[in-house]
Amino acid sequence: MRITFVIPSLNERDGIARTLDLVPRATLEEKGHAVDVIVVDGDSKDGTPDVARAAGATVINEKRLGYGRAYKTGFQAATGDVIVTGDADGSYPLEDAIPLLEMLETKGLDFITSNRYAQMHPGAMSGMHRVGNWALNVTSRALFGIRIHDTQSGMWVFRRRVLDLLPYGRFSDKMPFSEELKIRAFQHPKIKAAEVDGRYLPRTGEKKLSSWRDGYRNLRHLFRLRFQRTPPAA
């Protein structure tokens, strides 16, 4: 099986090194898998692409800004039978993909998203983000009736058929991409989706999201997804 890791980065010189260091390439190759790593970089000015290339990743320069935009570009380029995602800040230890990949097989799943609350390192999420994420989680469950505890997690492990079944190219270009992907995957009758406990560590480097702006944008996006006939692209 071919496994493609897709990692969005924006000025994450220190974080990308730590992140790529934890890609379990050797272990997966020993199990007979082919592994490739794509870093979708938002035209970083701090040398992130050089660090990523030196660590063996393929770097795509995506000048159009946005977390969702980066994933759309990365997913278009990904050739894996299975795709694994995570931030370039070392907060999701990608070695944890191994048990999730096994679970995909043994439980016949198509899409797994990690639940960071289960094994969250103290200091990994600020008090303000906890409150904001709680509000987004409660709202998502109320509006869509889905049983997800962590709608904002950025670590997903899924089969490529998920990309054929979901119109992800029309999803948000910004941070709401994360919640939109999960909601649509969990709602889809042909996608077997699950949320699994995962670790979440303090990030390396400066956060790229703006707490208030992105929190509000994520919340507004949930209502638009639920009530607008033609869901928004922003």
Spell out the alpha helix ranges (H) of the chain.
13-21, 25-30, 48-54, 67-77, 97-106, 127-144, 161-165, 177-187, 211-227
Rounded alpha-carbon distances, angstroms, from residue 127 to 36, 38, 132: 36, 32, 9
184 or 203: CB nearest Mg ion:
203
**Sign of the dihedral through C-alpha 130, 131, 135, 138:** positive
Q: Work out whether 90 is an interface residue with ligand GTP (CB under 6 A).
A: no
CB of 91 to Mg ion, least distance (A): 5
Strands 111-120 and 156-159: antiparallel
Site mask for ligand GTP (CB under 6 A), range 23-62, x = bound: -----------------xxx-------------------x
Q: Work out whether 66 is an interface residue with ligand GTP (CB under 6 A).
A: yes
Choose one: 9-17, 155-163, 190-198, 222-230; the region binding ligand GTP (CB under 6 A): 9-17
Tell me the C-alpha distance between 21 and 200, whole Å.
16
Binding residue count for ligand GTP, defined by CB under 6 A: 21
Tell me the C-alpha distance between 73 and 75, whole Å.
6
Q: Work out whether 180 is an interface residue with ligand GTP (CB under 6 A).
A: no
Site mask for ligand GTP (CB under 6 A), range 136-155, x = bound: ------------------x-
Q: Work out whether 207 is an interface residue with ligand GTP (CB under 6 A).
A: yes
CB of 97 to ligand GTP, least distance (A): 16
